[in-house]
Amino acid sequence: MMKSAEVLRLEQVFKSFPATLRGGPPIQILEGIDLSLERSSSIAITGNSGSGKSTLLQISAGLMQCDSGRVWFEEQEISALGDDKLSQLRSHSMGFIFQNSLLLDDFTALENVQIPSMIAGKSEKQAKVLAMEMLTTVGMQDRLHHTSDQLSGGERQRVAIARALVNAPSVIFADEPTGSLDEQNASLVEDLLFSLVQQQQVALMLITHNYSFAQRCDVVYHLHDRKVEVSS
């Protein structure tokens, strides 16, 4: 069971993948992972490429099923939820930021941020107001009507941050959010992400290679040899 302060809890999570598409002995990725994330706190997961960081994030967010173990999110066991409940949970309580901003390319920045609110049931007008506020917060008020291909990498990532936060989720799942940006832009996005997470009191689960970025989180876990350990 979850403690009252916890928003996310993983208990003895195991995950393996088949070695090849044709089968063969499975490759164990995660082994007995125990992890928790408290409200308004942040954790970072570091590790080498292929160590299973992204898999861990996806299992935590209910985007992938684990082989065994339990994942609790806001006092609900994710693996027991149906598609509609999971959609509802993603819409209201989770925000996602990926390495590549993954904006919807035939929608403007404003529409990209508007859509999550509309999915959550807000009217177009309400969603527009919220989206404009959020884009202003991330400094994109002058790029409201630009489509994805008219924005720079840093700008796209700022739109992605606004989109992740617009429904005031309880957790942001960020997978290498600065991985594709140059140093200057990466630093800007880092600052923006942490300031907004603190300001809006949102929990953050951050996957990164960048140790200095990870260190800005409350707890840093290192994923090594299929297990996580708290990094010193």
Partner 1 sequence: MKQPLFALLVKRKLGFGANRAAKRRILFNLLLITLVVSALVFAQMFVVSMSRGIADKYALLGNGHLQVHTTEPVDLSRYRAVIDVQKVGQSYALIYSPSANRMVRLKGVQDSYFSELRKEQLTMGEPYVQSESNLPQILLSTTLAKTLDVQIGDRVALMLVSQSSIRPQLCIVQNLYDSGYQELDANLVFSNYELMARLFQGKEETYYELLVEGDALEQTKRELKADGYAVTSWDEENYAVATNLNTSRQAVLGVMVAVAILCGYFISELSRELVEDDKYKIAMLTLLGATKRIIRRSYFSTVMVVTLVSVLLGTLLGMAFALNLSPLLSSIAARSIPSLAYYLLDFSIVIPWLDILIITLVLVGVSVISVLFSLRRVARIEPISCAHFD
183 is a contact residue toward partner 1 (CB under 8 A): no
Q: Which of 39, 70, 92, 227 binds partner 1 (CB under 8 A)?
A: 92
Q: Which of 9, 15, 53, 90 binds partner 1 (CB under 8 A)?
A: 90
Alpha carbons 222 and 231: distance in angstroms, whole number: 6
**Contact letters for partner 1, residues 122-141 (x by CB under 8 A):** xxx--x--------------
Under DSSP, is residue 95 helix (H, G, I), strand (E, B) or coil? strand
Q: How many residues bind partner 1 (CB under 8 A)?
A: 33
Largest CA distance in the chain: 53
Alpha carbons 94 and 88: distance in angstroms, whole number: 9
209 is a contact residue toward partner 1 (CB under 8 A): no
Neighbours of 164 (CB within 10 A): 26
Segment contacting partner 1 by CB under 8 A, of 92-100, 186-194, 197-205, 221-229: 92-100
Backbone angles phi, psi at 82, to 5 degrees: -80, 175
Phi-psi region of 153 (alpha: psi -120 to 50; beta: other; left: phi over 0): alpha
Q: Which of 18, 26, 50, 121 binds partner 1 (CB under 8 A)?
A: 121
Position 147, amino acid: T
Q: Which residues 153-172 are close enough to bind partner 1 by CB under 8 A?
A: 163
- Which residues here bind partner 1, judged by CB under 8 A? 58, 63-64, 83-84, 87-92, 94, 96, 98-100, 102, 104, 106-107, 111, 115-116, 118-124, 127, 163, 175
